[in-house]
Amino acid sequence: MKMLTAAALCVLMILSLCSRAEATTAFDLLRASAVSYTGSLPCGEWDCECAFKRQQGCCCIEQPLFDLEEATFMRMVGLWEGLSHLNTQIEELTAGCKISFTAAMLPMSGCLGPFTSNMSIAYQSISLNQGNGYNPALGTFTAPHAGLYSFSFTAYSSVGSPGQRLYQKVQLMKNGQLIASSWEDNREDSEDSSTQTVLLQLRRGCQVYVELLSGRQLCGDTQGQNMFSGYLVYPFPDK
């Protein structure tokens, strides 16, 4: 009986080894066939060594994901270099072009005007003159650099009591050319003010100023409310 049992075990072991040998042979044949296959594989250029030995690692898309990550990184590097170059160009273009000014008329209890001809207003109380483009003695701004500028002026006048004539007109000039104006002519308001803002393209050396029209007057500005200001929005290349 014992001999029969031992014989049976030997037969089972031999059959098991044969089965394993056949399975190994079949796997090797399948692997060899896949490696030597010259057609299009389902995943497109996948790694058969990886696919057959490390199936849990999603090997079919590992390389495409790496390529996508690398391409994205290089694209970001290119964008950063482009932005850095643009920033350098902007800094070179705007170097020394920080230009702005704000000035007001000195407080007065009386009136400025009337005059027999148009008179440039000298705003002599300066709170800002970056770039030194504004001349308080003449009331004239001379553009130190070509560019787009913003200018504002406020016209204020007070005749003191109702019934008196509020009669003022001031105008913004560019190289002698009228750009904008503000005026009042009535006996109903004892005081009034208005503000104008404009954008102007200037070449280097262009002059901008505010003038009081002949026969008109500005009165009662005790707190310097008549103001003139401007700044460079962005420069143009000098020609």
Report residue 86's pLDDT band, with 50, 70 and 90 as the boundaries.
confident
Q: Higher-confidence residue: 10 or 231?
A: 231
Mean pLDDT of 60-88: 79
Looking at residue 63, what is its pLDDT? 67
Token digits of residue 133: 């483009």
Q: Give 144's contacts (C-beta < 8 A, 6+ positions apart).
A: 97, 99, 131, 132, 133, 204
Domain boundaries, the chain: 16-92, 100-235
**Residue 6: which pLDDT band, with cuts at 50, 70 and 90?**
very low
pLDDT tens per residue, range 157-166? 888 777 777 7
Q: Which amino acid is at 7?
A: A
pLDDT at position 95 over 80: no
The stretch 82-100 carries a mean pLDDT of 75
Q: What is the mean pLDDT of residues 155-178?
A: 87
Q: Looking at residues 91-96, what average pLDDT do you find?
A: 61
Whole-model pTM? 0.60
Residue 73 pLDDT greater than 60, yes or no: yes
Dihedral sign for Cα 202, 206, 209, 212, please: negative
How much of the chain, in percent, has pLDDT values that exceed 90? Answer: 38
pLDDT at site 15:
43
Question: What pLDDT shows up at residue 217?
Answer: 86
Lowest mean pLDDT among 21-35, 58-72, 141-155: 21-35
pLDDT over threshold 60, residue 189: yes
Q: Mean pLDDT in the chain?
A: 79
The hierarchical CATH code for the domain 100-235 is 2.60.120.40
Least confident of 26-40, 69-83, 106-120, 194-208: 26-40
What confidence score (pLDDT) does residue 50 get? 60
**Per-residue pLDDT reduced to its tens digit, 198-221:** 999 999 999 999 999 998 888 888
For residue 196, pLDDT beyond 90: yes
Q: What is the DSSP string of the chain?
A: -HHHHHHHHHHHHHHHHHHHHHHHHHHHHHHHHHHH--S--TTSS--HHHHHH-GGG-GGGHHHHHHHHHHHHHHHHHHHHHHHHHHHHHHHHHTT---EEEEEPPP-SSEE---SS-EE----EEEEEETS-EETTTTEEE-SS-EEEEEEEEEEEE-SSTTS-EEEEEEEEETTEEEEEEEEEESS-SEEEEEEEEEEEE-TT-EEEEEEPTT--EE--TT---EEEEEEEEE----
**Of 74 and 51, more confident:** 74
- Please give the C-alpha separations between residue 67 and each of 44, 62, 63, in angstroms, as whole numbers: 14, 9, 6
